[in-house]
Amino acid sequence: MKSLVDAIRRTETVARVGRVVSVRGATIEAAGPAARVGEVCSIEMAGAEMPAFAEVVGFGDGRSVLMPYGDAGGIAVGSRIVAMGSTGEVPVGPGLLGRVVDAFARPVDDRGPIVSTARRPLKPAPVGALQRARVEAPMATGVKAIDSLLSLAKGQRIGLFAGSGVGKSSLLGMLARGAFAPVNVIALIGERSREVREFIEDQLGPEGLKRSVVVVATSAESAIVRLRAAYTATAIAEHFRDQGQDVLLTMDSLTRFAMARREVGLAAGEPPTARGYTPSVFSEIPQLCERCGPAAASGSITAIYTVLVEGDDLNEPVSDTVRGTLDGHIVLSRDLAHAGHYPAIDVLKSISRLHGAISDPAHLAAARSFGAALSLYERNRQLVEIGAYRPGANPALDRVVDAMPRIEAFLTQRLAERVERPAAIEQLRQLVATLEVPHGH
């Protein structure tokens, strides 16, 4: 009876109605309805069987500003707008596994309807800082360079910084297939339509798809739909986490999420700031990312967000915000990619802030010695490559130069190869034993 009473209380008995006043570009201005920011509204269109749907994104001069989820064609001045009373929910349940869905969790893979068992709000109240469990257990990824030198923890959030064409999608596919997580939730935000199918079939593959939910919003869809897709993927990941599962959430890309948020903010009248990004971009990125992490009891969301580095500039505004928000970053190098070094991880520019918390002392010592050896080589790389370095001048450098083929072999990995975390750490220890480079050399 209580659930019935609650449902009656939530039901609106008076329709909140407005009218379209103008349509400007991707925005609709309306007189009314009395709706909240983020509330979904239906817009009746003459001659159409189904209404269009739009979301309230702001207010100005006594009018509501809405952005439609689809094409605004058919919407006219005077079209009736009805507030629906919801700020958005997403259907969730085990039926999502193995499926490809859109920003509304509707199937787009031509495999029939999805049976959902519950619904979750897109933007729930944030979890208190002291209501979460500590991040303590390692998350094995199957990628040697990450598991041995940049160890991730269950519940960690990390950024994958990469320019175009340096193997970002390939590495994401390796992580989705090789990570030791029962559930993958993959959000493809603002991708080209061609790349979506290629990623699912070539990088993820049938085995990876079986335990994955892929949420897609292509670059052809409106900014408000691309924003919603990011929240839909996060809500789905939260559902599985609350069921006690360890979830790997990968979002490609957080930069396109920021671009969509900028587009919505500008349409709502926000002033542009750094590189045209609106203030809401820099407040909404932490709000989205903070939803990931461990649950209070069991279950966790380990999140990997890709950041598109424009012109390989690691100091542009979105990159700066993400670095300050997440628990570390992995940088992909264009020079390594051009040299055929895959995955093209620049381990000296990358960091996992939880590596020390989940690694034993012997592992940490090996990782530091490896970093010292690689740093020593990088400082003298030019001298070695042009033949100006004389062997014997620095015995530590001599050992590193001799070991470089083995170092390269350790840091590279075939796309289909999956290495157990203990095996990766043991390979690191054996390699470091031949280098004997002091940490502070």
Each residue's pLDDT tens digit, 9-61: 454 545 689 999 998 888 899 997 888 888 999 998 877 778 889 999 988 88
Whether residue 41 is found in the same domain as residue 163: no
Whether residue 370 is found in the same domain as residue 321: no
Whether residue 215 is found in the same domain as residue 272: yes
Residue 5 lies in a domain: no
Tally of structural domains, the chain: 3
Contact by Cβ (8 Å): 267, 57: yes
Q: What DSSP string describes 274-326? A: GGG--HHHHHHHHHHHTT-EE-SSS-EEEEEEEEE-GGG-TTSHHHHHHHHHS
The CATH number of residue 229's host domain is 3.40.50.12240
Residue with token string 């966790």? 300
Q: What DSSP string describes 52-88? A: EEEEEEEEETTEEEEEESS--TT--TT-EEEE-S-S-
Three-state helix/strand/coil letters over 240-254: HHHCCCEEEEEEECH
Whether residue 68 is found in the same domain as residue 134: no
Q: What DSSP string describes 90-124? A: EEESGGGTTEEE-TTS-B-SSS-----SEEEESSP
**How far does Cα 318 stand from its chain's mean position?**
13
Residue 343 lies in a domain: yes
Domain containing 23: what range? Answer: 12-86
- The region, left, alpha or beta by phi > 0 then psi within -120 to 50, assigned to residue 299 is left
The CATH number of residue 388's host domain is 1.20.1270.330
Q: What is the mean pLDDT of residues 323-338?
A: 92
> Which residues are 67's β-sheet partners?
55
Six token digits for residue 268: 């709502």
What percent of the chain lies above the pLDDT cut of 70? 95
Q: What is the mean pLDDT of residues 349-356?
A: 94
Element (H, E) at 408: helix 395-411
Whether residue 236 is found in the same domain as residue 100: yes
The burial class, CB within 10 Å (0-12 / 13-18 / 19+), for 36 is: exposed
Residue 291 lies in a domain: yes
Residue 2 lies in a domain: no
Contact by Cβ (8 Å): 41, 49: no
pLDDT digits (tens, 9 = 90+) for 197-243: 888 988 888 888 999 999 999 998 999 999 999 999 999 999 999 99
Q: How far is residue 441's CA from residue 390's CA, in Å, rounded to a whole number?
A: 18
User: Considering 86, 118, 149, which residue would you say is the last residue of a domain?
Assistant: 86
Q: How far is residue 141's CA from residue 153's CA, in Å, rounded to a whole number?
A: 10
Whether residue 18 is found in the same domain as residue 156: no
Confidence tier at 194 by pLDDT (50, 70, 90): confident
Residues in the chain: 441
Residue 6 lies in a domain: no
pLDDT digits (tens, 9 = 90+) for 268-319: 888 888 788 999 999 999 999 999 988 877 889 999 999 988 766 677 889 8
User: Residue type at 298?
Assistant: S
Residue 3 lies in a domain: no
Contact by Cβ (8 Å): 323, 329: yes
The counts of H helices and E strands in the chain are 15, 19
Whether residue 375 is found in the same domain as residue 241: no
User: Considering 86, 106, 122, which residue would you say is the last residue of a domain?
Assistant: 86
Confidence tier at 3 by pLDDT (50, 70, 90): very low
Whether residue 219 is found in the same domain as residue 244: yes
Residue 397 lies in a domain: yes
User: Considering 63, 86, 109, which residue would you say is the last residue of a domain?
Assistant: 86
Residue with token string 């290629």? 198
Residue 260 lies in a domain: yes
pTM: 0.89
Contact by Cβ (8 Å): 101, 215: yes
In the prediction, which pLDDT does 169 show? 86
Whether residue 425 is found in the same domain as residue 340: no
Cβ neighbors of 434 (< 8 A, separation 6 or more) are: 399, 403, 406
User: From start to end of 137-245, where are the E strands?
Assistant: 138-139, 152-153, 157-162, 183-191, 212-218
**Angle between helical axes of 279-289 and 254-267 (0-180°, round to 10):** 140
Q: How far is residue 143's CA from residue 253's CA, in Å, rounded to a whole number?
A: 20
Q: Please give the DSSP secondary-structure letter assigned to residue 341.
A: -
pLDDT digits (tens, 9 = 90+) for 113-165: 998 888 999 988 888 878 888 888 999 999 999 999 999 999 999 999 998 88
Element (H, E) at 154: none
Six token digits for residue 386: 């042009």
Cβ neighbors of 263 (< 8 A, separation 6 or more) are: 26, 223
Q: Please give the DSSP secondary-structure letter assigned to residue 441.
A: -
Whether residue 147 is found in the same domain as residue 233: yes
In the prediction, which pLDDT does 312 show? 63
What percent of the chain lies above the pLDDT cut of 90? 53
The CB density around residue 157, as the number of other CB atoms within 10 Å, is 25
Six token digits for residue 246: 């360890």
Element (H, E) at 255: helix 254-267
Whether residue 82 is found in the same domain as residue 95: no
Whether residue 306 is found in the same domain as residue 421: no
Residue in 349, 332, 350 with CA at minimum distance from that of residue 341: 332
Find the largest Cα–Cα distance for the chain.
87
The CB density around residue 378, as the number of other CB atoms within 10 Å, is 12
Cβ neighbors of 323 (< 8 A, separation 6 or more) are: 159, 329
